[in-house]
Amino acid sequence: MTIDGALCAALVDSGSGMILGQIGSGVDLEVAAAGNTEVVRAKHKTMNALGLNDVIEDILITLGRQYHIIRPLQKHEGLFVYLVLDKSKSNLALARRKTQDVGQALAV
């Protein structure tokens, strides 16, 4: 939540769509976790269908007033960080970098 413009964040199990931890407010994180789990699954399915042998670094969803960053954790397969930012108060490049740092430093 120290990222400029951060509204809320969650650590999500992409196998079940369940939240393992959350902070902040402004978005129904239970609904967002379940929905974004489907986004991650769909992207993996598409990558497999295309024969892409690669990993997802992050998925960015840009709304009119918000950025939503989904960052699968390379060190903890099956988990992703979900971050919601106020678009007018955030620096997207810096937020993506800090989300990467959080993922690398996270101990589960």
pTM over 0.75? The answer is yes
Q: What is the pLDDT of residues 80-96, one digit of tens each?
A: 999 999 999 999 999 99
Tell me the residue type at 9: A
Topology of the domain comprising 6-105: Beta-Lactamase (3.30.450)
Rama region for 17: left / alpha / beta (φ>0; ψ in -120 to 50; rest):
left
Q: What is the pLDDT of residues 7-55, one digit of tens each?
A: 999 999 999 999 999 999 999 999 999 999 999 999 999 999 999 999 9
- Residue ranges per domain, the chain? 6-105
